[in-house]
Structure 1
Amino acid sequence: MKNLAHTAAQEVVVIGGGFSGLATAGLLAASGHRVTLLEKQTVLGGRAGRLQREGFSFDTGPSWYLMPEVIEHWFELMGTSTDTELDLVDLGIGYRTWFQGDYTPLDMPSGSGAREAFESLQPGAGAALDKYLEQSAESYDLALKHFLYADFSSPASFLDPRVVALLPRLAPLLAGSLDSLVASRFSDPRLRQILGYPAVFLGSSPKRTPALYHLMSHLDLTQGVKYPMGGFAHLVDVMAGLCRAAGVTIITGARVTGIDADTAAGTPRVEAVRWVEAGDPGHITGPEQRLKADVVVGAADLHHLETELLPARLRSSSEASWKRRDPGPSAVLLCLGIRGKLPKLSHHNLLFTTDWDDNFGRIHRGEDLSEETSLYVCMPSATDPSVAPDGHENLFILVPSPALPAWGKGGPDGTGSPPVEAVADAALDQLAAWAGIADLRERVVVRQSLGPGDFEENVNAWQGGALGLAHTLSQSAFFRPSNHSSKIRGLHYAGSSVRPGIGVPMCLISAEIIAKAVNGIKDKGPMVPCRLSPGTQPKTEPTRAATP
């Protein structure tokens, strides 16, 4: 493969120490740039939060390890592998499901087991699932090859003959909804819920999510679900260690106050980042400092970056455009330490209510939730004994909720705001009733809630959104906000607010999009794994196709 153009080492400042910030910092340091990462909180991880209390270790963010080849690719670019750095466990049961009114759980394994589960609910659904998963695998392969690693930063990108040739296949998948696609193949409402629920993890709902995202079912029902022992907090720590080994300077408790640009001549060019030392929220402990930069990567919430750190004339998005955007749902989170074991629960658990459409409608309209609502329960102690004391279980309940910071914040042992604690109480009682654990509330030894206000304060989330901009049609694929500022040269954006979107793998891909841009790489595919040194450039290779 040909050598690519030489790019001199540059001074880089990365704002935000979540998965996208760490991934970007690591790749740019590995390619010879001098990188400093500034993180507002005292710990790294961003939305991948962590809580440790009385021997329990809770992940308060991502908990589904999907698209393993994307995560593996980042590790390869850093000169190592997930086999070397992580202890990954395959979950025999991807997730366990409960349906309102019939509390006999249905396990959803991957492969042939999923086919049998579908067949048990609707005769003929097994064969229909085979075809559905075959098509979702094709969509995933298409996305990897042509879209996920491309930033579509210029109109010429859309004129690529390979992309134009795909439009007849893409148009119906982008124009139609995931809900309609699933309904055309499955009549049982329970199966529609299983195949539609991934839209929640995309910050949307099945009726508002493009059908293209049926590819999500390929990830959990074909590839299967993995778990990194030690949780996602451990994954953050491992990535941070690799970043430091590559030369990244990481500063926590560093609140960025502004991004400066040189506007003296022609197009503005990024010049520096201003920041202050900050301890507790709102507590400034030092004078404002100024860090010069040739490149700045905003790996934090896009709305915060543009509206708080840049003057109006240098923002890529107008105030009017933000009013048209959808922040996606927020969430009420409940971390529970439970005395005794809970054999009725699996590692991942989904509870579906019959008011499916109204459930999503309440969230989108900003209304109070029903007493019983669809929710997700993670019990990592079913797999990982390190996250709970002996004889105890670790529970994490996620209740998708309206993006309303006015609901307030959570707190320890029921001390959060009344709206947050009311939702948390209802979720706890719902789980106890549906899973047949009558004494669940009495067995709680640790309780900590979080609400929309926590997302707003901890990670500057726009309107307290838990995930990032919703994957609606107008906010998906090349319609999603760009990875590059349209007003300032040298300013780039990574993370769940921009392309390609929400989720740990997507954040790692956004990091690689920026690494390619900074290093002058025009190809759409991912970079070839190699150890880089100052002045050298990575090559590119075609994306590996997913294995159906």
Structure 2
Amino acid sequence: MNTTINIIGSGFSSLAAASYLARSGSNVTVYEKNSTIGGRARQLKKDGFTFDMGPTWYWMPDVFERFFEDFGKRPKDYYELKKLSPAYSVCFGMNDFITIGDNLDEICRVFDKTEPGSSRKLRKFIAEAKSNYDIAIKDLVYRPGLSPLELVTPQTIAKLGQFFGNISKDIRKEFKNKKLVQILEFPVLFLGAKPSDTPSFYSFMNYADFGLGTWYPKGGMFSVVEAMQQLAIEQGVKFVTNADVEKIEVDEDGCATHIIVNGERIAGDITLSGADYHHTETLLDKKYRQYSEGYWERKTFAPSSLLFYVGFNKPVENVEHHTLFFDVEFDQHAADIYDNPKWPEQPLFYASFSAKTDSDTAPQGMEAGTFLIPLAPGLEDTPKLREQYFEKIMTRLENLTQQSLKDSILFKESFCVNDFVNDYNSYKGNAYGLANTLLQTAFLRPGLKSNKVKNLFFTGQLTVPGPGVPPALISGKLVAGLIEKQLYKQPKQTFTKRYEINI
């Protein structure tokens, strides 16, 4: 097959799609606007320190295994993977930490110590979460979101009520200790919405947490990016960096025919965008855009983030590789993101200290710290605000872990709303895409295939199946499948209409 496919962006979904499409015999080229590949999962290196700029959590290892197995490979063919023990720690105040182990038995002991008798409820909750995981991750998320009937199976019918309940209510019904409630609500934050707005069925994220555990690829998440690029190159994919796509051209028949890259007109039979969906549509003349500005305004977006990458000249004590700081009011911070968007007065934050696991990420005797504060997208972003919030979290970090750290900072780099817009063309500077609420699930998300432009497709966190690294890999596979069906002119599925509820 001599089909030419041009892919915009080099995030996880684009990398996955590129490999599948090249394996089928197409000539695939990936165009990345930045100087290095990876999209939000780029890497920062400075003065002997190494940081993942985006994702730092490796969850759902089975999804990665399934991806590489599609090519007769295994993750260990490309990178070394280690299960973290403990998985992470949650700080609720000075000398008040709950550490999550690497197996359910250990976690149950911690739960019983915190709330006597809660382990029995936890085992029941995780058993249900595993059942949901088996339905969702092993089946439903591998469907392309073309029809509501994709969600109708004997298994989902049996769990229909879980699509209309919410995680927060379910957890609070069974667990009374506030700390345990927050720990159980934490995993669904990866889906981009408040627990009270996340359907009960999404408890499968709790199985991803307590059942499958937290892993770390040596070298960080960028090692996975490099692995996927290497796999793509093995399939024949070409990569072009510093390649800013300025326009998608559509001919008189309504077919995408060219992309304009740094002023150069490049022909292609298929155009696939893994870039921000909203931005991609602005590359089209207005009449070819599927979704209005009002549509995007009405959607619930996952948060943006204020990130700091900090080099310390000594180890940071009393923390784990992954540490969550929940020492302030969770509900208030959530309201500042979703209900009344503003900079939070007292933000929760997350910290990663990768050198606790991987000594290569910092010079000997030093520490690489990554800090993340979730924020509402579209907020004002200034150097003064960044500095103010860095001071807030460093002061709390020192107090909560009882050590002096500010004088040990060698450097810090920051990344926030403006950078998400400038580097990734991200809508309102969001970090994670569209939240997975009930009305933004599966066929109710923006489609993988344009319904106005022939041969134009989309992949990534704003489309099916949703935000997160494992869903991005799945999104790449799904869109590649749709493209291959079109190229090979296989029989169309019975239901291809896009369903949207504009509320």
User: Which residue is 1:90 aligned to?
Assistant: 83
User: Does the aligned pair in 1 maintain the 2:148–2:443 contact within 8 Å?
Assistant: no
Residue in structure 2 matched with residue 75 of structure 1 by the alignment? 68
- Do structure 1's residue 402 and structure 2's residue 376 form an aligned pair? yes
* Aligned ranges 1:363-512 → 2 under 5 Å: 363-364=337-338, 365-370=340-345, 372-408=346-382, 417-437=383-403, 439-512=404-477
Q: Structure 1 residues 250-259 or 347-356, which shifts more?
A: 347-356
User: Paired residue for 1:103?
Assistant: 95
SS of residue matched to 2:476: helix
Q: C-alpha offsets along residues 24-81 of structure 1, whole Å, 9 cap, x if unaligned?
A: 1111111211001000000111111221111000111111111111111222223321
Identical-residue share of aligned pairs (%) = 31
Q: Which residue of 1 aligns with 2:197?
A: 208
Deviations 1:367-424 (A, max 9, x none): 1212x3211111111000110000001111111112135214xxxxxxxx11122112
Deviating more after overlay: 126-135 vs 255-264: 255-264
Out of 300, 322, 325, the position equivalent to 2:296 is 322
Alignment of 1:121-132 (within 5 A): 121-132=114-125
Is 2:278 the partner of 1:303?
Answer: yes
For 2:148, give the aligned amino acid: F
> How big is the shift at 1:171?
3.1
Match of 1:342 among 307, 316, 339: 316
Give CA deviations for 1:177-209 in whole Å, capped at 9, x if unaligned: 211111111111111100111232222221222
Q: Measure, in 1, the Cα distance between the counterparts of 2:413 and 2:149.
A: 51
Residue identity opposite 2:426 in structure 1: A
Q: In 2 relative to 1, CA 76–166 (structure 1 residues): closer, same or farther, beyond 3 Å?
A: closer
Is the contact made by 1:456 and 1:462 (CA closer than 8 Å) also made in structure 2? Answer: yes
Q: Aligned pairs, how many?
A: 488
Contact 2:187–2:209, Cα closer than 8 Å, also in 1: no
Aligned equivalent of 2:256: 270
Distance 1:202 1:151, change over 3 A: same
Aligned to 1:284: none
User: What residue in structure 2 maps to residue 174 of structure 1?
Assistant: 163
Q: Distance in 2 between matches of 1:159 and 1:90?
A: 37
One-letter amino acid of the structure 2 residue matched with residue 490 of structure 1: N
Instruction: Tell me how far apart the structure 2 counterparts of residues 454 and 196 of structure 1 sit (CA, whole Å).
Output: 29
Name the amino acid aligned to 1:262: D
What does residue 497 of structure 2 align with? none
Deviations 1:475-498 (A, max 9, x none): 223322221111112211111111
Matched, 1:158 2:148: yes
Separation in 2 of the partners of 1:180 and 1:484?
36
- In the TM superposition, residue 318 of structure 1 has moved relative to its aligned partner by 2.0
SS in 2 for 1:519: helix
Residues 197, 205 of structure 1: 8 Å contact kept:
no
1:531 maps to none
Q: Secondary structure at 1:333's aligned position in 2?
A: strand
| Aligned counterpart, 1:353 | 327
Does structure 1 conserve the Cα–Cα contact (< 8 Å) formed by 2:87 and 2:100? Answer: yes
Q: 1:332 aligns with which of 306, 310, 314?
A: 306
1:65 counterpart residue number: 58
SS at match of 1:520: helix
Deviations 1:123-178 (A, max 9, x none): 1111111011001111111113442010132xxx4346x82534544432222221
What is the CA–CA distance in structure 1 between the aligned matches of 2:117 and 2:243, rounded to whole Å? 57
Q: Which runs of 5+ in 1 are unaligned?
A: 1-7, 277-287, 409-416, 522-533, 538-548
> Does structure 2 conserve the Cα–Cα contact (< 8 Å) formed by 1:333 and 1:424?
no
Q: Which amino acid in the other structure matches residue 205 of structure 1?
A: K
C-alpha displacement of 1:270: 1.9
2:264 aligned residue: 289
Pair 145,201 (structure 1): closer, same or farther in 2 beyond 3 Å: closer
Residues 115 and 49 from structure 1, CA distance in 2 versus in 1: closer, same or farther, beyond 3 angstroms?
Answer: same
Q: Which residue of 2 aligns with 1:313?
A: 287
- Tell me if the contact between 1:158 and 1:164 (Cα under 8 Å) persists in the aligned partners: no
* C-alpha distance in 1 between matches for 2:217 and 2:445: 30
Offset from partner CA, 1:404-458 (integer Å, 9 cap, x none): 35214xxxxxxxx111221122111111211222x11111112111111111111
Counterpart check, 1:133 vs 2:126? yes
CA offsets 1:272-328 (integer angstroms, 9 cap, x no match): 11111xxxxxxxxxxx1111111111101111111x211222112122211211222
Residue type at the aligned position of 1:99:
F
TM-score after normalising by structure 2: 0.93
**Which among 32, 39, 45 is matched to residue 38 of structure 2?**
45
Given residue 106 of structure 1, which amino acid in structure 2 is its aligned partner?
I
What CA distance in whole angstroms lies between the structure 2 residues aligned with 1:138 and 1:61? Answer: 30
Asked if the contact 2:289–2:452 (Cα under 8 Å) also holds between the matched residues in 1, the reply is yes
- Which deviates the most, 128-137 or 170-179? 170-179
Name the aligned partner's letter for residue 275 of structure 1: V
CA contact (8 A) 1:150 1:513 kept: yes
- Once residues 145 and 16 of structure 2 are traced to their aligned partners in structure 1, the CA distance between those partners, rounded to angstroms, is 20
| Cα distance in 1 between the residues matched to 2:462 and 2:159 | 23
The amino acid of 2:160's aligned partner reads A
Q: In the alignment, what sits opposite 1:13?
A: 6
Cα distance, 1:9 vs structure 2 = 4.2
8 Å CA contact retained: 2:145, 2:464:
no
Contact 2:342 2:379 in 1 (8 A): no
Partner Cα separation in structure 1 for residue 85 and residue 413 of structure 2: 29
Q: 1:133 to 1:9 in 2, by over 3 A?
A: farther
TM-score (norm 1): 0.86
CA contact (8 A) 1:424 1:449 kept: no
1:199-227 per-position Cα deviation (integer Å, ceiling 9, x unaligned): 32222221222222211110121111110
Query: What CA distance in whole angstroms lies between the structure 2 residues aligned with 1:204 and 1:484?
Result: 25
Partner SS state of residue 244, structure 2: strand
- Paired residues of 2:80 and 2:218 also in contact (CA < 8 A): yes
Aligned residues: CA RMSD? 1.9
Counterpart pick for 2:137 among 144, 154, 158: 144
Look up the equivalent residue of 2:110 and give its one-letter code: A
Alpha-carbon distance in 2 for matches of 1:418, 1:309: 33
The residue aligned with 1:187 is: 176
